[in-house]
């Protein structure tokens, strides 16, 4: 079965980009700024009723931008006059496009729940549903069905094409992100070419997807799947090891390490250090810091180096404001020493215990 040519797709994308480079670069910058500003506002508002409303507005704006971008890219590829006001032209299709987007997200999510592979297949099969809503005014379900139909028999080639788009944009990002203003429009127009080809494949044109290409696609798929699995595993390990209880244990271990360094410093110099930094590097290889905030621990020297107190803010202790302190000469320790010798004016936790 003949399929589209990836090389031809990128050639068409580059050709169309060269026809209107400033317009396409401006479109990319404009939509990126709008998306970034709305996303920033939504993030800063936070939770609650107002936050929910702002996040819904942000989501709606992203949907509208997606609709407008799709229409403009189709028109640029078809060499039809278009300008930035066309970003708002497909507004009458908003509810269709929104319903289609939700359906695609649900199907792909369910596929990923079923061990990732079905989710990737679903994502490829439904990749052109958004184009079909904008280009043909199809309903949500019809768009999904038609996308599945036109991609049937081409999904390996689409997967390899998707990887090509990914690596081209990675290459563009290497140049301080500046290359993306070229690689993103070119790859987007190449995708439009693939959509046009699949919608009406010319019988006399196209290329055969060789066994080698399928083998390489399978290899890259396995590598990608392994990378995703490793990332998920690492994320799971991090989530189980980075808990308030374990962070508090780390803080106490850090204080023990500081005390050992201070004892070695006193044996060599006759007094305790004035600052924690004085122990680096002879008595401590590096200065321990709070595992959550990254800030150094509070350290107070008493009586010209006769004694000191080192403190940390614990997350799981409610008494004494969560402050845990130890003295160098063991005159007190733990939470009780915080009451006996801790100066609350010189130490403020950077966060409230959870």
Can you give the pLDDT at residue 228? Answer: 60
Can you give the pLDDT at residue 291? Answer: 86
Percent of the chain's residues with pLDDT above 90: 41
C-alpha dist (Å) from residue 198 to 115, 134, 191: 28, 16, 11
Can you give the pLDDT at residue 334? Answer: 41
Can you give the pLDDT at residue 305? Answer: 84
- Whether residue 160 contacts residue 216, with contact meaning beta carbons closer than 8 Å, is answered with yes
pLDDT above 90 for 50: no
Can you give the pLDDT at residue 200? Answer: 84
Can you give the pLDDT at residue 96? Answer: 94
pTM: 0.62
The mean pLDDT of the chain is 83
- Whether residue 284 contacts residue 257, with contact meaning beta carbons closer than 8 Å, is answered with yes
Average pLDDT of span 22-36 = 93
Can you give the pLDDT at residue 353? Answer: 44
Task: Identify the band that residue 92 occupies on the pLDDT scale cut at 50, 70 and 90.
Answer: very high
Task: Identify the band that residue 333 occupies on the pLDDT scale cut at 50, 70 and 90.
Answer: very low
E strand or H helix that includes residue 298 = strand 298-302
DSSP-derived 3-state class of residue 136: helix
DSSP-derived 3-state class of residue 349: coil
Q: Which residue's entry shows tokens 């019809």?
A: 142
Average pLDDT of span 78-99 = 93
Across 36-50, 136-150, 183-197, 290-304, least confident range:
36-50
pLDDT above 70 for 67: yes
- Using left for φ > 0, alpha for ψ between -120 and 50, and beta otherwise, residue 137 falls in left
- Tokens standing for residue 353: 């215990």
Neighbours of 104 (CB within 10 A): 21
pLDDT above 70 for 350: no
Can you give the pLDDT at residue 46? Answer: 65
* Range picked from 15-24, 271-280, 295-304 for highest mean pLDDT: 15-24
- Whether residue 13 contacts residue 182, with contact meaning beta carbons closer than 8 Å, is answered with no
Distance CA 139, CA 99 (A): 9
Can you give the pLDDT at residue 293? Answer: 85
Can you give the pLDDT at residue 40? Answer: 85
pLDDT above 80 for 61: yes
- Whether residue 207 contacts residue 3, with contact meaning beta carbons closer than 8 Å, is answered with yes
Distance CA 90, CA 101 (A): 15
Q: pLDDT of 283-329, one tens digit each?
A: 888 888 898 888 889 898 888 888 899 999 888 877 777 788 888 88
Backbone angles phi, psi at 331, to 5 degrees: -70, -20
Can you give the pLDDT at residue 347? Answer: 46
Q: pLDDT of 222-266, one tens digit each?
A: 666 666 666 656 655 555 556 888 888 888 899 998 999 889 999
Across 14-18, 47-51, 261-265, least confident range:
47-51
Residue 179: half-sphere exposure toward Cβ, Cα within 13 Å: 12
Q: Which residue has the higher pLDDT, 33 or 292?
A: 33
pLDDT above 70 for 190: yes
Distance CA 211, CA 65 (A): 39
- Whether residue 276 contacts residue 287, with contact meaning beta carbons closer than 8 Å, is answered with yes
Neighbours of 89 (CB within 10 A): 16
Can you give the pLDDT at residue 69? Answer: 95
- Whether residue 297 contacts residue 254, with contact meaning beta carbons closer than 8 Å, is answered with yes
Neighbours of 73 (CB within 10 A): 23
* Range picked from 44-48, 148-152, 258-262, 264-268 for highest mean pLDDT: 148-152
- Whether residue 198 contacts residue 151, with contact meaning beta carbons closer than 8 Å, is answered with yes
Can you give the pLDDT at residue 108? Answer: 92
């Amino acid at each position: 079965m003949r399929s589209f040519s990836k090389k031809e797709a990128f050639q068409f994308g580059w050709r169309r980009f060269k026809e209107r480079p400033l317009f396409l670069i401006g479109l990319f910058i404009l939509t990126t700024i709008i998306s970034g500003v709305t996303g920033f506002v939504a993030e800063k508002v936070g939770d609650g009723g107002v936050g929910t409303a702002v996040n819904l507005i942000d989501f709606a704006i992203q949907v509208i931008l997606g609709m407008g971008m799709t229409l403009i890219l189709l028109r640029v590829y078809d060499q039809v006059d278009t300008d930035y006001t066309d970003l708002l032209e497909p507004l009458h299709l908003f509810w269709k496009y929104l319903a289609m987007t939700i359906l695609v997200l649900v199907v792909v999510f369910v596929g990923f729940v079923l061990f990732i592979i079905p989710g990737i297949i679903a994502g490829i099969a439904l990749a052109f549903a958004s184009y079909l809503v904008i280009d043909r005014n199809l309903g949500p379900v019809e768009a999904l069905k038609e996308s599945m139909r036109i991609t049937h028999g081409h999904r390996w080639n689409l997967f390899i094409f998707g990887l090509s788009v990914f690596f081209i944009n990675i290459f563009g990002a290497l140049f301080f992100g500046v290359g993306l203003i070229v690689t993103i429009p070119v790859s987007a127009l190449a995708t439009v070419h693939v959509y046009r080809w699949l919608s009406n494949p010319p019988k006399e044109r196209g290329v055969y997807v060789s066994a080698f290409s399928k083998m390489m696609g399978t290899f890259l798929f396995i590598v990608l799947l392994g990378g995703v699995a490793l990332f998920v595993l690492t994320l799971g390990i991090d989530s189980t090891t980075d808990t308030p209880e374990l962070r508090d244990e780390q803080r106490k271990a850090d204080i023990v390490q500081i005390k050992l360094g201070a004892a070695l410093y006193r044996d060599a110099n006759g007094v305790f250090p004035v600052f924690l930094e004085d122990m680096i590097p002879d008595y401590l290889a590096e200065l321990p810091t709070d595992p959550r905030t990254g800030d150094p621990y509070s350290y107070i020297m008493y009586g010209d180096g006769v004694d000191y107190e080192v403190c940390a803010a614990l997350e799981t202790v409610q008494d004494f404001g969560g402050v845990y302190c130890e003295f160098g000469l063991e005159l007190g320790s733990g939470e009780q020493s915080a009451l006996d010798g801790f100066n609350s004016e010189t130490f403020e936790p950077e966060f409230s215990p959870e």
